[in-house]
Structure formats: structure tokens, C-alpha cells
Chains A and B, each alone.
Chain A
Amino acid sequence: MRHTRAVPRVGPLVAGEESAEVLDVDALLDDPDRHVLVCCGSGGVGKTTTSAALALRAAERGRKVCVLTIDPARRLAQALGIERLDNTPRPVEGLETQSGGSLDAMMLDMKRTFDEVVQSQASPEKAAQILANPFYVAVSSSFAGTQEYMAMEKLGQLDAEARRTGRYDLIVVDTPPSRSALDFLDAPERLSSFLDGRFMRLLLAPAKGPARFMTAGVGLVTGAVTKIIGAQVLQDVKAFVAAFDTLFGGFRTRAQRTYELLQDPRTAFVVVAAPEPDALREAAYFVERLRAEQMPLAGLVVNRASPAPVESLSAGAATAAAERLRGEGDALAAGLLRLHADRVTLVARERRLTGRFATSHPDVPTAVLPALSTDVHDLAGLRRIGELLSSQRA
């Protein structure tokens, strides 16, 4: 129980903060029936850090883990030995392996993953044709959502491999730095329905069916498109669609399978947020969405919370005291008091925001992770994060 004696309460919801259930991270990591952990949340909140820390802790507790990261900070990538983008998991060095666990890590290469899907689905000539198409190059490297889609594709591949060979019993996936946490759930559907979309069908129709499909309306439409983007693009698109046509079905099936994996009780989602309005709003949407899709939610990690200040001195009292010291010469005392006042205000705000989330989602187990005073870019840092995550007090 926290002492809130001298701390100004900022509305009734502050109390709500303590009502959230605590996320039991070790129980989650040790559960032999969990084989996939997905860390999601909006950009910059610490998804990559959290996924790497969870993966390391699970491995050092004895599980055979693979972590799929998306865009790790350079120094973290170096520490994990994954600066090379070769799209294959590599063993992480420096692990404490007494408990028999292992940790492989990899960084996603989105274009290469896409290429590999095409190659696995089409005949060599056809694959070569597709890979060389300028339109394919555009889609595979810059279509909004390709990265999300390919992360899920890679997860599917790793999971299939794990089941086949037993090399891993836990896969931890980071998700792309989307602008919104939901992007990654929607991406496969968006891309496949786009590739499968109406206009694509329309472009394809003259090539496949009798010419009478070329109605006046269609002529008008393709005419306008030609005007906007030029005939050459349209030609490329047509060639691409024609070559890709047989693969559409395969894409849909694969997306469907990943979706089912995400709904499976083998999987658990960890939603990561910062104690800020936008990130918590995204987290709330995400929690509700997971529920609607019947996807298993393990809990919420509130990352980079400001460390709790000493509670016996309120912000107002600290500011007043700092004022009294003005000109007295003790800059250290005055500085610490002002710092303290800011910290109290900041933490009160963060608790209010987190408390609001807890009040509206009382059944979501939560762990609060303080902001460390340094970046997290080596195994020691990740271990520290793992410890903090598992030593949450109820």
C-alpha cells in the first residue's frame, strides 16, 4: 500500500490505479502451453525492448526461445548479434544457460520475406517475372502494411518450424512501429483484399474473359487511370496482376492461417503502452479489439513510467520551499526541490492516466515498468527490465 499522505490527490481516479490486477510475468513465461507471445502497442513505447527482455528472461528460465524483432536500436541489435539482415534466427551470445534454455534472435527483412513467399508459391519463371515487375517492387517495399503482414508471415513460418523440429518452444514477436497498434492486426486483410480488390479484378477481366466485359464504364475508368498515372504503370500492373493471379488464393489462405494462430490459446498478447494519453488510448482500442476477435490477452505493460518520488513532500510544498531558498546560496537543495515538484506532478499525471485505463479495463493484468536512467542496449539492461517486470508488487 502506498502512502499518499502528503501527495495531492488529483481526482477520484487516482485510487483506481491500485485496483488493476498485477501481470504475473514469470507465470506467463513458464506456462508450457504458451508458444507465442506477441508484443504490440503504438510506436516508440518500448515494444522491441519488452519483447527482447521477455525472450531473454524466458530463455534464462529454461525455455527454447526465438525472438523476432522488427527495428531494434542499433546498439541493441549489436548486443543481440543481429545487425546483419539475413532473415534467419541466430543464437544470442552471453546467455546464462544453466537452466537449459536457449535464445535465438532475428531482425525482420520485409522485402526478402515477401520475395520468399512469392518464390515458394510460384514456378521459378513466374516468380522471376513477378520479382522483376516494378509494380511488385513498389508493393513489397512500400505498401502501407507490408511490414506488418510480413511480420505475421514470418511468425507463421517460425511457428511451423518450431512444431516440426522442436527447435523452439516459445516465439516472441515484436510488431512494426505502426502509427496505430491496430495496423498490424488489419494489415494482412488489407493487403490481401487490396490485391484481391475490385479494380484488380477489373484489370484482369479483359485478359481472362470475353471482350464484352470491357463495358463503357470500365473503359472510362481505365482511361482516367491512364491519365493520372500513365499507360506504362497500368501495363506493369496488368502484367503483375496476371502473373500474381494464381497466388492470390495462397495469400488469403496464409493470412487466414496466421489469424487462426493469433486466436489460438497457444498465443498470448502483451500490450505495451507509455503512460501517455495517445499510447493508452491505443492500448484501450487494442484490448477491446483483441476481445472482439477472441484473441488471448495476457496483459498490459506500462513502460517508461517516471520513477515514484518520495511521497512525504507535495509538489506545492516543494515549490514553496525552493522559493524560500532563492538567493540563499544552496543551489543543490533548491534544484532538488524543484526537480521533486516536477516529478510529483508528472507522476500524478501518469498515475491518473494509468488509473483511468485500469478503471475502464479492470480485468486487464498490468505491470508498470519504470524508465531506467539509461537506455537499454545490452543483455544486462534487458535482464534488469525482465527483473523489474517480474517483481511487480501486488
Chain B
Amino acid sequence: MSATLFPDAQLHVVTGKGGTGKSTVAAALALALASRGQTVLLCEVEGRQGIAQIFDVAPLPYEERLLVRPQAGAGDVYALAIDPESALLEYLDMYYRLGRAGKALDRFGVVEFATTIAPGVRDVLLTGKVYEAANRNRRNKGARHYDAIVLDAPPTGRIAQFLNVNQELAGLAKVGPVKGQAEVVSTLLHSPRTAIHLVTVLEEMPVQETGDGIAELRDIGLPVGAVVVNLLRPQDLDATDREALAGGRADRDALAASLGAAGVEPTPELLDGLLEEGRHHAERRRLEDEQRAVVTGLGVPVVELPLLPGGVDMGGLYELAERLCEEGLG
């Protein structure tokens, strides 16, 4: 087991460009942390039931549910889908004991109103719930204590706004309980107890977005964690071979001989096919290498995860979790 890159982090926020694997990485990270014996809460906030899909369980309610209990020595993973309506009603109930009036609010469409119209309010409610889960302590006997929380967060384009709760509210609620809530949440988010990881693939648009996202987060003093490069193509061929393949200069006769030696009949069709596959791969790798250089230049730890050709099932998820552990994340 290697040392972990973020020993102080209790809250791991996972963001990234859409479709690059945020939810997958968040799930794998939760398993990785649990494998070190931690009790983990995996949260999602976008109402998409991504966690349920990945773990192939029934849709999650606004309630912490035991998701996986890994092998002996490892901690449990709980899951929670946070939606702003439930968070608001819970919040009102906690602070105002609204009871019937709470229901009236819902009936008049106020809850929808407050949570859609003022995105700042919605975000404070979502992060506020995460904060609440992160701050349970021994004093609160009944409540479950989590060693780590992993948040499958909104995409890179919205992450700074989402986490910059104080600022977002500035123009709206200048005083009052929501403002107070935003302040305590903000303190947690700006502390070393939080690490914000960005998932990307080695392509131009996502890498650019990752760079922009990091700059934006740094600008407002939020703690950037690692860049997770996901869906990495196989790294089998070395630079010389790739160059030869891309330039159409690979040694066809030697390839034929090696295939023959390995018991595969080197038909012309097979040789052409393999060389063409190799050329395509080499060209993609060249772009990947360009982008990898950009990612390396961002000045944050980089963690790489392979593309699993058969897709991500539970086995694949554990494989990714293991890689995260090896690379020091989790």
C-alpha cells in the first residue's frame, strides 16, 4: 500500500467534464477509501441516480443506505442521493420546526421556487447536507460517523460556482440563516479537510476545461486535489514502434515471422489489419501524449486509470479502486 496523497482530506469532491467518468471514479474512490478501513459516504447531488446505476441497486432515497460491505478489515460504504427539495424541508424542519407550514410551502411551489430560482440557495442546501454528514461527532450519539465522504459533484463548468457558496449568495441573501449556513460550509470547503479532484480524458476539450477549472478553483482559494486521467488507452507499444506504425514503416516481415512463431497464421489480411489498428492507436496516443504534457504542466498530482475494454462492472470497479490506492488516491 502506498502513502496517500491527501492524508488530511475527509471530503473528496469529484468533478470533471461530462461523460469522462466522474461517477465511476467517485464510486471507485469510495471503495478505495473503504479498503483502508474507513467508513465512507458516497453522495450524489444531481438527481440522476448515477450511484444506483453503477452499483446496480434500486434508486436511492434521501436517506443513507448501506451500499457495500467489503471484505474483512475494510470499512462500509454508504450512499446518499441529496436533492434540494428534501434538503430544504429537512433544513426548515431542523431550524424552524415548520411542520404543517413546510407542507404548505411545498404545495404553493415555494420549495421549487427557492431551489430553482436562486441557484445559490440550492447549492447551499446541497453542500449543507454534505457538511452536516461530515461534521457528526461523538456528542451526537445516534448519528453515523463517517471517516470520509466522496461527493459525485456537478461538472467542471459549474464546480467553482457550486462550491463557492458564500459568493453565490452574496447578491441574494445578505443576512439570515441561509447566509450563516453558507459560512460554515464555506469554511469546510476552503480547508485542507477538502480535496477537489478533476476527472478528464486525454483529449483537447476536456483537458482545456480541466485547466480552466483548476485556475478558477485556485482563484477562489478552493483546495485542488488530483487530476484523474481516465479511459487511458493501453500503453503496450513503445515510442519507437508507435512512430514506425504511424509512419507506415513498421517491419511487416518481422511481424509475420513473430506471428508465425506464436502460432498465428500471418495472412495478408491479418497483417494489414493489425498494422492499421496499430497506426490508428499510434495516432491517438500521439494526441494523448500532447495532452498528457498539458496535464502534467498543471502542477497537481496526476493519477491514471485504464480504459476497461469490457466496460465497468463490479469487478472493474474494484480494479479501478485498486489502481487509485496504488497511485495514492484513497
Contacts and interface: CB of A to CB of B under 8 A. Distances in A.
Interface string A108-145: 00000000000000000000000000110011001110
A182 interface: no
Prevailing SS type, chain B contact patch: helix
Name, among B104, B259, B264, B269, the residue most crowded by chain A CB atoms within 10 Å (CB to CB): B264
Interface size bracket, A side: 35 or more
Most chain B C-beta atoms within 10 Å of own C-beta, residue among A45, A278, A335, A340: A335
Contacts of A333: 254-255, 258-259, 262
Interface stretch (B59-67, B115-123, B186-194): B115-123
Of A220, A229, A277, A313, chain B has the most CB atoms within 10 Å of the CB of A229
Contacts, number: 210
Interface string B258-283: 11011110010110111111111101
A375 B287 contact: yes
Nearest to B311: A349
Interface string A181-222: 000000000000010011110100000000000000100110
B242 to A, nearest CB: 9
A134 to B, nearest CB: 6
Given A179-B48, A331-B238, A43 B96 contact: no
A237 interface: yes
Given A199-B109, A224-B101, A233 B270 contact: no
Which label, helix, strand, loop or mixed, suits the secondary structure of the A interface?
helix
Interface string B121-148: 1000000000000000000000000000
B236 interface: yes
A172 to B, nearest CB: 20
Contacts of B119: 138, 142-144
Contacts of B272: 310
Given A134-B171, A229-B118, A349-B309, A198 B109 contact: yes
A224 B118 contact: no
A343 interface: yes
A200 B117 CA distance: 11
A384 B2 CA distance: 47
Given A179-B48, A310-B269, A373 B237 contact: no
Nearest to B176: A230
A346 interface: yes
A32 interface: no
Nearest to A313: B270
B86 interface: no
A342 B208 contact: no
Contacts of A97: none
B113 interface: yes
Contacts of B279: 373
B46 interface: yes
A331 B101 CA distance: 72
B247 to A, nearest CB: 13
Interface string A271-305: 00010011100000000000000000000000000
Interface in B173-220: 173-179, 203-205, 208
Contacts of A197: 109, 112-113
A228 B120 CA distance: 12
Contact of A229 (B114, B244, B284, B310): B114
A382 interface: no
A177 interface: yes
Nearest to B284: A373
Contacts of B311: 277, 349
Interface residues on B, range: 35 or more
Contact of B258 (A330, A346, A375): A330
B92 interface: yes
A226 to B, nearest CB: 8
Name which of A224, A237, A277, A375 has the most chain B CB atoms within 10 A of its CB.
A224
Interface stretch (A53-61, A62-70, A318-326): A318-326
B98 A310 contact: no
B172 to A, nearest CB: 5
A228 B17 CA distance: 32
Contacts of A225: 105, 110, 113-114
Given A217-B104, A321-B264, A375-B287, A228 B114 contact: yes
Given A142-B119, A224-B98, A333-B262, 15 more contacts: A43-B18, A138-B118, A138-B172, A199-B113, A228-B173, A228-B178, A230-B175, A307-B277, A328-B262, A334-B258, A335-B236, A336-B278, A339-B237, A340-B274, A346-B310
Interface of B: 17-20, 46, 48, 53, 88, 92, 96, 98, 101, 104-105, 108-110, 112-114, 116-119, 121, 171-179, 203-205, 208, 234, 236-238, 241, 244, 250-251, 254-255, 258-259, 261-264, 267, 269-270, 272-281, 283-284, 287, 307, 309-311
19 contacts: A73-B205, A75-B204, A134-B172, A135-B117, A138-B118, A144-B119, A224-B92, A224-B101, A228-B88, A228-B173, A309-B277, A310-B270, A321-B264, A328-B258, A336-B275, A339-B277, A339-B278, A374-B283, A375-B203
Task: Please give me the 4 A-B residue pairs with the lowest Cβ-Cβ distance, nearest first.
Answer: A310-B273, A333-B258, A373-B283, A335-B236
